[in-house]
Amino acid sequence: MSETVENHERVTLTRWELGLDKALGLLAASVLMLLMIITFIDVLGRYLFSAPLPGAFELTEIMMAMLIFAGLPLVSRANQHVSVNLIVGILSPKILHLQRLITQAIMAVVLAVMAWRMWIKAAEMLEQGDETAYLLLPIAPVAFFMTLMMAFSTLIIAIQFVRIYRTKEKQ
Amino acid sequence: SAKTTLRLSNWIPPKHPIAADMIFPWAKKVEKASNGRIKVNILKKALGKPPAAFDLAKDGIADISWGVHGYTPGRFAVTQLVELPFLGDDAEALSVAYWRVHQKYLAAANEHSGVKLLGLMTHGPGHIYNSKRAINMPADLEGLKIRVGGGVVSDVGKALNIVTMLKPATKSYEILSRGVADGIFFPKESIRSFKLSKVLKYATYVPGGLYNTSFFLVMSEKAWNKLSAEDQQAVMSVSGEEFAKLAGKGWNKADRAGVAAMQDAGMSLQTASSAMMAELRNKLSDIEAKVVARAKAKGIDGAAVLKMLRAEAASY
Amino acid sequence: MVVMFIGVPIAFAMGIVGFFGLVGMIGWDPSLAMVAGVTMETGLDYGLSVVPLFILMGNFVTHAGLSDELYAASNAWLGHRRGGLAMATALACGGFSAVCGSSLATAATMTKVAMPSMRKYGYADSLATGVIAAGGTLGILIPPSVILVLYGIMTQQDIGKLFAAGIIPGIIGIFGYMATVWVVTTINPKLGPKAERVPMLERFHLLKGIWSIVVLFVIVIGGIYLGIFTPTEAAGIGASGAFVFALGRRRLSWLTLYRVLVESAQTTAMIFFILIGAIMFSNFVNIAGLPDDLANFVETLGWSPLAVLFAILGIYLILGAVLESLSMILLTIPIFYPIVEGLGFDLIWFGVIVVVVTEISLITPPIGLNVFVIRSVLPEVPTGTIFKGIIPFFIVDVIRLALLVFVPGLVLLLPSYMP
Ligand code: NA
Ligand code: NA
């Protein structure tokens, strides 16, 4: 289900961007595969051996968070967020350029705010000692991971902003 | 004086006893006690999932919120004292006793910091239900998959050496009807309010309760501080011990309705024998020690709390 | 709305509107705290794990090439008739929808599979692409369906029942599209010439090729229907099953496996980001009491419930023209479902009605995502041609919508037998 209107940018990626893509891609891929396997084992264990996987419930929750937020920078990098390009098609190149700058700036600000608030939330969770109910795993690290991924996404969008800005200068 | 509207975030369906017989009537009482100066606006939908209930008030997103301490494991320790087995059969007596021990001992642990605590409650005693066989001894539970909530009941499950599954209460029907779980630990009330009498066959009541659950009713500090002294007094006149009474009565009434529903559905109902009780006490004794130790880490004398809690509940 | 139309991604637009609305109602600090709260609880939600698992299942199925056999079998039985290849396409779309939860994936896959043979036999591009665009929409109606899952989560309805409710309307959809092809090619036979007749023996032989799809559907949807699995578990089983099929057919190298997983993860991340924005928006709607205001407004109008429903469907058709399906549902459901429920309509039934309207939105201009998907596979076919080919299918969709509105039993029959 890739409900995306893709917007391919012909830009050369820097080495660290490619590296980040690969690392996050591997992480997201392994977590999703693991999520599938854990669900499978949990169900199979329950029906065949009357022994569901202990803690599968909370492992699933943690893996969901990792999956989504490892995927977020990738989505931001590939410019895959769904948008309505209704009026975009009829704009002059100059206004279109401006529109893209504004859009990128708005997205960067939103992501930055989210990262900032998530950081505060993560610190709170650390202090309160929030943990999972069965395996007693601390939740704060997951929240910090989410913060980090949103910070990465902010950075990626900011870099895109700069790139779009420069394409104008070149013209 | 000016009229204040307070937003209450509620996550349980309006017909559930917690809403219909506890939270909603309490809101009416607040409006009445303040002579209409305060209006409680119960939102159609909760502003967050059940585990977020406490933070909703702490962050000022909701003005008033209620929830379950056990839904955020690791955060509340001393409230687990009222979740222990064998505390009492009457939700009203236990809830009132809970409020009194909180005022005397538990408040010192400061676990509700960041919000104004309006009330505490426990539900009726928790019992054993399943769809497979009659439970006459703890050993009969072996091999059954039992759904439990978080908190002390998880420890109870571990101590009885059974396969527990931690799933939200609202998922109970789904997992029991689909055979994901064979049984459940619940108060009598929940069998009716989650419509489980059709999917469960056997009940074993544990006198005093196999476990209990601790609930809070809190207000955001910001909203509280905005109230005039007169309004604050009006709110507290129907909260605290008064709320414990109201809620406890609601739980007792709901428990009776739960038993009626189980009888109507033709479930096999029994009470644990003294032999079973002896074995349960034996197997669960470590949990009490564990919870008391957790309370001690927060500077609370758990043994004294339990002594007072049992005495107050018994004499109520 | 303005933020959205200047091209800000919908997730961000909804989040921004919701956020500033909330700031106006409850102030800065609580609104900022809610940003983190909503992100945290949406990220760590067990119930939502059904979403990536169904997406993964659909992507594995796509890569396993199960669609080839499906189309070959449908063709063998129908291809020799007038318009037969297009009818076979509609049927194969329906079959593929039974294992794939996304309309866009269904449309994209069927374009690759069905287009070459329709071209070979001289089908008009308009009919060929029209039937794929329309048939592809069944992906979100015939279970599994990512859209029905999200509807169920937003309205707290049983996902299993929603899935069951989609089956009969989906089958009506398949036959409706086949009938449309028949009518269109009867009027103008040149649009869809006959293909060669396939011998009976071979037809039955080809039927065997679709066993893996039947097995997946029976296990996943049958398992949910009979109450053996929860939807989340069924999704896990379905994804694992599709993985095994893809592996067994040697369609999975390490690289494809990696790509399938990453693509699924990205789609998941994108959906969740829209969901976070939608929940911010829905919290604003809730605190502002919009559903109440709207319900009061409806009451002052004094319309009959059915008239109100038609007004809502009209709004959906208009919104559906310009909005992408997922965002449309997440944006409107928080506002509309309390009203619809208040009017005494069944929310399972309404979920299916909303999905059928959404299906229509996928093929209506100017934003018809299925059309875009087909264009991305066949850049040489003009958008206008596809939209022209869609017109008869659009008409049939509207008739089907009316049928389901007036005969709710068609939707509610199957869920009524569930445990
Ligand atoms: Na489908
Ligand atoms: Na459209």
Confidence of residue A15 (pLDDT cuts 50, 70, 90): confident
Least CB-CB distance to A36: which of C35, C240, C327?
Answer: C240
pLDDT score, position A168: 64
Confidence of residue A86 (pLDDT cuts 50, 70, 90): low
Q: How far is the CA of C370 from the centre of ligand 2 (A)?
A: 9
Confidence of residue C141 (pLDDT cuts 50, 70, 90): very high
Query: Could you tell me the two tokens for B222?
Result: 């910001």
Q: Is residue C19 part of a domain?
A: no
Number of CB atoms found within 10 A of residue B279's CB = 16
Confidence of residue C5 (pLDDT cuts 50, 70, 90): low
The residue-averaged pLDDT of B244-273 equals 97
Query: Could you tell me the two tokens for C90?
Result: 């509609």
Instruction: Identify whether the C-beta of residue C345 lies closer than 8 Å to the C-beta of residue C301.
Output: no
Query: With the C-alpha atoms ordered B153, B155, B157, B159, is the resulting torsion angle positive or negative?
Result: negative
Query: Higher-confidence residue: C251 or B227?
Result: B227
Query: Higher-confidence residue: B151 or B273?
Result: B273
E-state strands within B29-78: 38-42, 64-68
pLDDT digits over B34-78, tens only? 999 999 999 988 999 999 999 999 999 999 999 999 999 999 999
Ligand nearest to the CA of C106: 1
Lowest mean pLDDT among A6-10, B71-75, B155-159, B226-230: A6-10
Query: With the C-alpha atoms ordered C294, C295, C296, C300, is the resulting torsion angle positive or negative?
Result: positive
- Neighbours of B, requiring at least 3 CB pairs below 8 Å, are A, C
Q: How far apart are CA B98 and CA B93, in angstroms?
A: 8
Which neighbouring-strand residues pair with A131? A138
Non-local (6+) Cβ contacts of A146 within 8 A are: A65, A69, A118, A122, C39, C40, C43
Domain count, chain C: 1
Element (H, E) at B217: strand B214-220
Least CB-CB distance to C35: which of A26, A83, A117?
Answer: A117
Q: How far apart are CA A82 and CA A79, in angstroms?
A: 9
pLDDT score, position C209: 79
Q: How far apart are CA C147 and CA C356, in angstroms?
A: 11
Non-local (6+) Cβ contacts of B124 within 8 A are: B89, B90, B91, B187, B188, B189, B209, B251, B252, B254, B255
Q: Is residue C30 part of a domain?
A: no
Instruction: Identify all chain A residues contacting B74, using CB atoms and an 8 Å cutoff.
Output: 128-131, 136, 138-139
Q: What is the mean pLDDT of chain C?
A: 91
Q: Answer whether A129 sits within 8 Å of B163, measured CB to CB.
A: no
Q: How far is the CA of C154 from the centre of ligand 2 (A)?
A: 22
Lowest mean pLDDT among B20-24, B251-255, C42-46, C171-175: C42-46
Least CB-CB distance to A146: which of C32, C43, C372?
Answer: C43
pLDDT score, position C156: 85
HSE, CB side, 13 Å, CA atoms: give it for residue B127: 27
The residue-averaged pLDDT of B90-105 equals 97
pLDDT score, position B5: 95
Q: Is the link from the previous residue into B13 a cis peptide, with omega within 30 of 0? A: no
Element (H, E) at B122: strand B115-122
pLDDT score, position B16: 92
CA distances from B206 to B192, B209, C73 (A): 18, 5, 61
pLDDT digits over C76-91, tens only? 899 889 999 999 999 9
Q: How far is the CA of C98 from the centre of ligand 2 (A)?
A: 23
CA-based nearest residue in chain A for residue B58? A124
**Plot region of B225 (φ>0 → left; ψ -120 to 50 → alpha; else → beta):** alpha
C383 reaches A (C-beta below 8 A): no
C243 reaches A (C-beta below 8 A): yes
Q: Answer whether C44 sits within 8 Å of A81, measured CB to CB.
A: no
Q: How far is B75 from chain A (nearest CA, A)?
A: 5
Q: How far apart are CA C153 and CA C166, in angstroms?
A: 16
Q: How far is the CA of C137 from the centre of ligand 1 (A)?
A: 9
Q: Answer whether C267 sits within 8 Å of A69, measured CB to CB.
A: no
Which neighbouring-strand residues pair with B270? B204
Instruction: Identify all chain A residues contacting C45, using CB atoms and an 8 Å cutoff.
Output: 61, 64
pLDDT score, position C65: 85
Mutate to test the interface with C, among A3, A7, A43, A69 (most CBs of C within 10 A): A3
pLDDT score, position A8: 44
Q: Answer whether B60 sits within 8 Å of C282, measured CB to CB.
A: no
CA distances from B231 to B31, B220, B246, C45, C238 (A): 10, 15, 20, 39, 57
Q: At what angle do helices C159-187 and C84-97 cross, to 10 degrees?
A: 170
CA-based nearest residue in chain A for residue C107? A1
pLDDT score, position A124: 95
pLDDT score, position B221: 97
Confidence of residue A88 (pLDDT cuts 50, 70, 90): low
Q: What is the mean pLDDT of chain B?
A: 94
Q: Is residue C302 part of a domain?
A: yes
Query: Higher-confidence residue: B279 or C5?
Result: B279
Residue B125 has pLDDT above 50, yes or no: yes
Confidence of residue C206 (pLDDT cuts 50, 70, 90): confident
Least CB-CB distance to B145: which of A50, A55, A58?
Answer: A50
The complex scores an ipTM of 0.90
Instruction: Identify all chain A residues contacting C20, using CB atoms and an 8 Å cutoff.
Output: none
DSSP, residue by residue, C122-136: T--HHHHHHHHHHHH
Instruction: Identify all chain B residues contacting C225, using CB atoms and an 8 Å cutoff.
Output: none
Q: How far apart are CA C407 and CA C419, in angstroms?
A: 23
For residues A93-119, one letter each, b for 16 or more C-beta atoms within 10 angstroms of the residue's C-beta and e for the rest, the string is eeeebebbeebbbbbbebbbbbbbbbb
Query: Could you tell me the two tokens for B137?
Result: 């001894």
Query: Could you tell me the two tokens for C268?
Result: 């998941």
Least CB-CB distance to B143: which of A50, A129, A134?
Answer: A50
pLDDT score, position C335: 86
pLDDT score, position A11: 53
CA-based nearest residue in chain C for residue A47? C228
Q: Is the link from the previous residue into C116 a cis peptide, with omega within 30 of 0? A: no
Query: Higher-confidence residue: C324 or C372?
Result: C372
Instruction: Identify whether the C-beta of residue A1 lies closer than 8 Å to the C-beta of residue C146.
Output: yes
The residue behind tokens 């009470």 is: B271
Q: How far is B154 from chain C (nearest CA, A)?
A: 19
Residue C419 has pLDDT above 80, yes or no: no
pLDDT score, position C25: 93
Least CB-CB distance to A4: which of C58, C237, C270?
Answer: C270
Instruction: Identify whether the C-beta of residue B65 lies closer than 8 Å to the C-beta of residue B218.
Output: yes
Q: How many residues does chain B have?
A: 316
Query: Could you tell me the two tokens for A42?
Result: 């949990």
Residue A3 has pLDDT above 50, yes or no: no
Q: How far is the CA of C146 from the centre of ligand 1 (A)?
A: 8
Query: With the C-alpha atoms ordered A74, A75, A80, A83, is the resulting torsion angle positive or negative?
Result: negative
DSSP, residue by residue, chain A: -----------PPPHHHHHHHHHHHHHHHHHHHHHHHHHHHHHHHHHHHS-PPTTHHHHHHHHHHHHHHHHHHHHHHTT------TTGGGS-HHHHHHHHHHHHHHHHHHHHHHHHHHHHHHHHHHHHT-B-SSS--BSHHHHHHHHHHHHHHHHHHHHHHHHHHHHHHH-
pLDDT digits over C16-30, tens only? 999 999 999 999 999
pLDDT score, position C366: 78
The residue-averaged pLDDT of A100-111 equals 92
- Contact residues, chain B to chain C, C-beta under 8 Å: 7, 43-45, 47-49, 51-52, 55-56, 59-61, 174-175, 177-180
Q: What is the mean pLDDT of chain A?
A: 84
Mutate to test the interface with B, among A44, A49, A61, A128 (most CBs of B within 10 A): A128
The residue-averaged pLDDT of A164-168 equals 81
Checking DSSP bridges between strand B145-148 and strand B115-122, what pairing results, if any? unpaired
pLDDT digits over C372-386, tens only? 888 888 889 998 999
Instruction: Identify all chain A residues contacting B72, using CB atoms and an 8 Å cutoff.
Output: 128, 130
For residues C354-370, one letter each, b for 16 or more C-beta atoms within 10 angstroms of the residue's C-beta and e for the rest, the string is bbbbbbbbbbbeebbbb
pLDDT score, position C342: 87
A45 reaches B (C-beta below 8 A): no
Instruction: Identify whether the C-beta of residue B217 lies closer than 8 Å to the C-beta of residue B92.
Output: no
Percent of chain C with pLDDT over 70: 99
**Strand order through the sheet with B126-130:** B163-166, B145-148, B183-187, B126-130, B202-205, B268-271
Instruction: Identify whether the C-beta of residue C272 lies closer than 8 Å to the C-beta of residue C48.
Output: yes
Query: With the C-alpha atoms ordered B163, B165, B170, B176, is the resulting torsion angle positive or negative?
Result: negative
Residue A5 has pLDDT above 50, yes or no: no
Residue B143 has pLDDT above 90, yes or no: no
Q: Is residue C247 part of a domain?
A: yes
Q: How far apart are CA B115 and CA B54, in angstroms?
A: 8
Residue B281 has pLDDT above 80, yes or no: yes
Q: How far apart are CA C14 and CA A141, in angstroms?
A: 28
pLDDT score, position A13: 65
Lowest mean pLDDT among A48-57, B97-106, B290-299, C101-110: A48-57
Q: How far is C357 from chain A (nearest CA, A)?
A: 17
Q: Is residue C240 part of a domain?
A: yes
Q: How far apart are CA B26 and CA B242, in angstroms?
A: 9
Residue A2 has pLDDT above 60, yes or no: no
Ligand nearest to the CA of C367: 2
The residues whose Cβ lies within 5 A of ligand 2, an ion, are C 321, 361, 364, 367-368
Residue B95 has pLDDT above 70, yes or no: yes
Which neighbouring-strand residues pair with B129? B184, B203
* Enclosing domain of residue C297: 46-416
Q: How far is the CA of C330 from the centre of ligand 1 (A)?
A: 19
Chain A stretch 49-68, residues whose beta carbon is closer than 8 A to a beta carbon of chain B: 50-52, 54-55, 57-58
pLDDT digits over C285-314, tens only? 889 988 888 888 888 888 889 999 999 999
Instruction: Identify all chain C residues contacting B180, using CB atoms and an 8 Å cutoff.
Output: 230, 233
Q: Answer whether A106 sits within 8 Å of C258, measured CB to CB.
A: no
**Quick one: C128 exposed, middle or buried, by C-beta within 10 A (0-12, 13-18, 19+)?**
buried
pLDDT digits over B194-227, tens only? 999 999 999 999 999 999 999 999 999 999 999 9
Q: How far is C249 from chain B (nearest CA, A)?
A: 32
Confidence of residue A80 (pLDDT cuts 50, 70, 90): low
CA-based nearest residue in chain C for residue A106? C8
The residues whose Cβ lies within 5 A of ligand 1, an ion, are C 97, 101, 139, 142, 145
Query: Could you tell me the two tokens for C19?
Result: 């956020």
* Three-class DSSP category at B316: coil
Q: How far apart are CA C127 and CA A30, in angstroms?
A: 42
Least CB-CB distance to C228: which of B55, B175, B178?
Answer: B178
CA dihedral C151, C157, C159, C164 (to 10 degrees): -100
Q: At what angle do helices C347-363 and C125-136 cross, to 10 degrees?
A: 150
B73 reaches A (C-beta below 8 A): yes
Which residue stretches of chain B are H helix?
A: 17, 24-33, 53-58, 91-104, 152-159, 172-177, 188-193, 221-226, 229-237, 241-264, 274-297, 302-315
- Contact residues, chain C to chain B, C-beta under 8 Å: 26-27, 29-31, 33-34, 37-38, 41, 45, 158, 227-230, 233, 282-283, 286-287, 291-292, 334, 338, 419
Checking DSSP bridges between strand B64-68 and strand B214-220, what pairing results, if any? antiparallel
pLDDT score, position C59: 93
- Neighbours of C, requiring at least 3 CB pairs below 8 Å, are A, B
Residue C139 has pLDDT above 80, yes or no: yes
Q: How far apart are CA C166 and CA B188, in angstroms?
A: 36
Instruction: Identify all chain C residues contacting A103, using CB atoms and an 8 Å cutoff.
Output: 6-9
Q: Answer whether B74 sits within 8 Å of A52, measured CB to CB.
A: no
**Angle at CA of residue C101, ends C155 and A37, nearest 5°:** 95
Lowest mean pLDDT among A77-81, A144-148, B101-105, B118-122: A77-81
